[in-house]
Chains A and B, each alone.
Chain A
Amino acid sequence: MSLVNDTLGKLKAGQFDVLESDYKKSGYHLEVKLNETQVQNFARMMYETEFYLDFVTAVHVAPCFQVVYQFAHFNEACRINAKAMANEAREIPTIADVFQGAEWHERETHDFYGVVFTGHPDLRTLLLSEEDADLKPLLKKEDKLVSVETITRKSEAEAEKKPVKKNIEE
C-alpha cells in the first residue's frame, strides 16, 4: 500500500482535497475533490507520478456537471477518482495537453453531455454523427435531475449514524 500512502502524502502536500477510500466498497483507493483551477495541476501531478488516465466522463447533476477523472498505476494497485464541478457556463479546463489520450475522452463527454473543455484542440463530435452535434443524449430530464449531495458517497462517520444492514462477510 506504499504507493497509495505516498500519493496521499503528495496530494495533501499539493493542497488537494483528498480522502482515503475503501477500495472494496468504492472501487478506488483515493478520492480527490477538485475545483476548476486545480484540474490542470492535478493532471500534471498525476503525469509526473506516472499514473495513467483510465477514463473521463461526466455526471449530470443539479447545479451543473460533475466531471469525473479516474487514474490508475501500472506498478501497484492504486486507483484515484477525481471529481470536479464544471462552472455555470458548462466549462472546465482540458487535460488533453497533459494526457494526450484525454482528447477523445473529452470529445466523447462533450458529445454526450455538452461539457465544454476549454483549450481542447478539437471538440467536433466523435461518436455521434455531425448533424447530432447539439443532441446531448445523456442529459437527464428535469424531474430526474438530483443534486450533487444525493449522489456523493458519504464519509464513514456520516454513514455510521444510519443503521446499516450487516454485510454477508461479517
Chain B
Amino acid sequence: MGEENKIKGINTFTQSLREEYECGAVEHQGAMLSQLLLTDKVLKVCQANSLWPMTFGLACCAIEMMATGMARIDMARYGAEVFRPSARQCDLLIISGTVNKKMAPAVITLYEQMPSPKWVIAMGNCAISGGPFAVEENYNVIEGVDRLIPVDVYIPGCPPRPEALIEGILKLQEKITGGRHPWPQRKMPANPEVIKI
C-alpha cells in the first residue's frame, strides 16, 4: 500500500508540475519536470533489469528456480540472478512452492521486511491456488499465496519449467516499465542466409 501511495504521490506531483508549465508558469519548473520524468523512466528501467530475488525455496518449484539461476538457463541474462540471503536486500519474492499454515506467518514477515519497491511472483500451482492440495480434506495448505500477500505475476505449472520462470520475470519487467524488454536485446542476425547451412 505504501508503495502505491508513493507512486500516486509522484504522479500527482508531476501532473501539477505539468499543469503549471502548460499555463506558462515559472520556466525552470519545466526543466524540473522533464528531468523528473526522465529520472522516473531511468529508475524503472534500472529496477526492471536488476531484480534481486530472495533465496527462498519452499518446495519442488525451488529446484526449477535454482536451475533457472544456473549457467544453462542463466536468468542473469535478464539481470535477476542476484539471489540475496536477506529479505532486506531483495525486491523480488518468488514464492516457489506450497505455503502451509505454519509457514504463512514467516512468508508475511519476509514480505514485510522487504524494502519498497517490491514485487511478488507466485510460481507454480501450489502458490497460485493450492494446486493438488486444493481438496476437501486439505487442512494446512494456504490455497493461493495471494490470500496472504499481493501477487504481481502468476506462473502456472507443476512445477513450471525454467523458461516459464524467465517469462514470468519478463512479464514483471513489462509491468514495471510498461514495455517488453526495457533494455535493448541482442537480435538474431539480420540476414538469416548467413547461418543457414
B86 within 8 A of A: no
Q: Which residues of A lie under 8 Å from residue B140 when comparing CB positions?
A: 128-129, 132, 137
Q: Give B138-162 as 1s and 0s: 1 = Cβ < 8 Å from A's Cβ atoms.
A: 0110000000000000000000000
Closest to B102 in A: A129
Q: Which residues of A lie under 8 Å from residue B139 when comparing CB positions?
A: 128, 132, 135, 137
User: Which residue of A127, A129, A135, A137 has the most chain B CB atoms within 10 A of its CB atom?
Assistant: A129
Q: Which residues of A lie under 8 Å from residue B101 when comparing CB positions?
A: 128-129, 132
Interface of B is mostly: loop
Q: Which residues of B lie under 8 Å from residue A127 when comparing CB positions?
A: 102
- Tell me the bound Cα distance from A135 to B102 in angstroms: 14
Number of interface residues of A (CB under 8 A): 6
Closest to B139 in A: A137
- Tell me the bound Cα distance from A128 to B138 in angstroms: 12
Closest to B100 in A: A129
**Chain B residues numbered 71-111 whose CB sits less than 8 Å from any CB in chain A:** 101-102
Q: Which residues of A lie under 8 Å from residue B137 when comparing CB positions?
A: 137
- Tell me the bound Cα distance from A137 to B139 in angstroms: 7
- Tell me the bound Cα distance from A127 to B101 in angstroms: 10
Distance of A114 from chain B, by nearest CB (Å): 14
Q: Which residues of A lie under 8 Å from residue B102 when comparing CB positions?
A: 127-129
Distance of B137 from chain A, by nearest CB (Å): 8
Distance of A140 from chain B, by nearest CB (Å): 11
- Tell me the bound Cα distance from A137 to B101 in angstroms: 14
- Tell me the bound Cα distance from A132 to B104 in angstroms: 14
Distance of A108 from chain B, by nearest CB (Å): 13
- Tell me the bound Cα distance from A135 to B139 in angstroms: 8
Q: Which residues of B lie under 8 Å from residue A129 when comparing CB positions?
A: 101-102, 140
Q: Give A24-46 as 1s and 0s: 1 = Cβ < 8 Å from B's Cβ atoms.
A: 00000000000000000000000
**Chain A residues numbered 38-75 whose CB sits less than 8 Å from any CB in chain B:** none
Distance of A110 from chain B, by nearest CB (Å): 15
Instruction: Give B contacts to A, CB under 8 Å.
Output: 101-102, 137, 139-140
Instruction: Give A contacts to B, CB under 8 Å.
Output: 127-129, 132, 135, 137
Q: List 10 A-B contacts (CB under 8 A).
A: A127-B102, A128-B102, A128-B139, A128-B140, A129-B101, A129-B102, A129-B140, A132-B101, A132-B139, A135-B139
